[in-house]
Structure 1
Amino acid sequence: MFLLPASVVIGLPPYASFRLGDLVLSIRTIGGASALLIAALLLICAVSLWSRPQYRVAAGVTALLVSLIALVSSNLGGFLVGTVLGLIGGALALSWTPPAAGERDRDQEDGPGSSRTRAIGITALFVGALVVVPAASPSASTTAAPSGRVWVLTASVLRLTGLQYHGVGTTRVGGATVEVLKFTASRIDITSLVQVSELIDGHLGKITAPPGSVSTATGHPIELLTLRLKGTLSLLGLIGLPVDFTPARPPPLVLPSLTFTDVTVVNTDLKHARLAIPDAKITVT
């Protein structure tokens, strides 16, 4: 709501002309190209926040940075108005968190005390005649088929190809409903695989691959339900970024191909996958 007018206020003046009687004023500066770029970035951030709120951290940080850059590169940030609107929008994006499961259920009711009603009232207060009703992301509350068991995968290297993140869903584990991260991938390569799972009779089953060996999972696509993904995210093989993704702390941005090292993954289900483990050793304790 704030980033949309910010993009207009910053991007419009360098290309607009204003008429005062017989006098035509045109603000033509060298900041025209930068203003257009900043306005486009703010517009992309606004659309991203509206349609894909799970990427709010990346969009919020981008909005804050480009709003500050506009101060020195685009007519003082749209005469300060655009920068102020952009900073407010970016700060709100970073401060917002998804509602808890119980709150989401209550929000299904459109009573006078629901958060949707409050959101419409606040929007009407700021925008006046413009009333915006946010549409829920289709991937925000999907439900997966229950598996009932949790299994833990550790590996020295985990490479995910054709990866897509589908938001936070729910599944049944041990008779309780838990939130999980939903991913799909076309291929998973696992180096030095160790997989531990609880069996039906209470024993633990452990599958171990030889150190340095690469196990592969393929499918069209593989569906992965994850409680936690902890490890070091390798950026271009040069930079290692520690990450710890859970449903409460989902990934802000997911690329089509990611590589993790020293990784531990807690999963509840792996669907449509063909897993090949070379020289696997299976033990039950």
Structure 2
Amino acid sequence: MLLRSRFRGWRRTRPFWAGALLVLAGAELLVVPLSPVTVLVSLGLGGLAALGIGLALIAAGLFLWFLPSARHYVSVNALILSVLSFAATNLGGFLVGTGLGIAGSAMGFGWVPRRTPPGGGKALAVALLPVLLVTAPPSAGRAEAAGRAPAAAVPPSVTATRFAPRGFTLAGVGDVPTADGPLKVLVLRMRAAELSDYRLTTHNGRGELSLAARSLELRGQVTLYLTRFRGCLEGVLCLTFSPDALPVPPVVPPFVFMTEVTAEQALVTADVIRADGLGLRALPGV
């Protein structure tokens, strides 16, 4: 009875049934190509695709169980894989795998955690401490930014039609100094990043300064300090990230990209910055 009670409590703190549906969807895609119905199912490219997508959906379900904070990102990619399975595999496991995957993805994305009961915050912090120590050492962003020149009190706005990072990690939340006091920012690190149709606009009382480039490449220890970031994952689902809302996992696979990007960028550092078609334009204040 005690074990059952503990399992029920654990299940209610994560999108359990969404993860279960994704695991079932992946298992169904794995089983169908290995079934004896050789007349209907081919073990060629469709079978290999079913194995890959099936394993990925099972992994997505396990992520929802054991890393529920990453549910938005995981659910979006699971949805894409579920839809892709219809064309890439044997009709998505005869529609069963595709249907289970879509349902699990929708449930995972829409799941909302229950409010932490009084006194439960301490236990939650203890449980998450190992993850935080690995992915974002305490005050890491604040320590880095503290040694840099003050940023603008009003962060410049950035737009890009496509943002493709490599080796992307969410380092946490930190502060950057400004003339008006510390500014709370997201700290994002990556090995490299490519942006298309990049435009940065600064704002002050004397006017605006706009810098544009057809493409911008950042390489080597790239760090972005952002107060707001909005984009469409895989060009499908548009999300907004801020220091107070982090619907992303600590580590992002290298194939992920975002479109229709808008951001408020306090600082950016990189070993190499390469621009193609760079232009600068000043607009006087009204």
TM-score category by the smaller chain?
0.5 to 0.7
In the TM superposition, 1:53-202 aligns within 5 A as: 53=70, 55-62=73-80, 64-65=82-83, 73=91, 76=94, 86-87=101-102, 89-96=104-111, 106-109=123-126, 136=131, 138-139=134-135, 143-145=140-142, 146-147=145-146, 149=151, 150-154=153-157, 163-167=166-170, 169-172=172-175, 178=184, 180=186, 182-184=188-190, 185=192, 193-196=200-203
Deviations 1:92-147 (A, max 9, x none): 3222468999987651335xxxxx9xxxxxxxxxxxxxxxxxx9585478741345
Describe the superposition over 1:3-46 as per-residue Cα deviations: whole angstroms up to 9, x where unpaired. Answer: 33432333225424xxxxxxxxx432322444653343132133
Find the residue that maps to 2:53 and give its secondary structure. helix
How many angstroms apart in 1 are the aligned matches of 2:93 and 2:214?
Answer: 55
Quick one: which of 34, 38, 41 aligns to 2:53?
A: 41
Amino acid at match of 2:264: V
Q: For the structure 1 residues 136 and 192, does the alpha-carbon distance in structure 2 shift closer, same or farther, using more than 3 Å as the test?
A: closer
Q: TM-score, normalised by structure 2?
A: 0.53
- 8 Å CA contact 1:160, 1:187 repeated in 2: yes
Tell me the TM-score normalized by structure 1: 0.53
Count residues in correspondence: 236
Corresponding residue for residue 227 of structure 1: 227
Letter in 2 for 1:171: G
Larger-Rg structure: 1
Q: CA deviation at 1:180?
A: 1.7
Q: Distance in 1 between matches of 2:258 and 2:93?
A: 42
Q: Which residue of 1 aligns with 2:6?
A: none
TM-superposed deviation, 1:60: 3.1
Conserved? CA contact 2:196–2:216, under 8 Å: yes
Is this contact kept in 2: 1:225–1:269, CA < 8 A? Answer: yes
1:170 Cα shift? 0.9
Quick one: distance in 2 between partners of 1:84 and 1:278? 49
More helix by share: 2
% identical equivalent positions: 14
Which residue of the other structure, out of 245, 269, 272, is the alignment partner of 1:271? 269
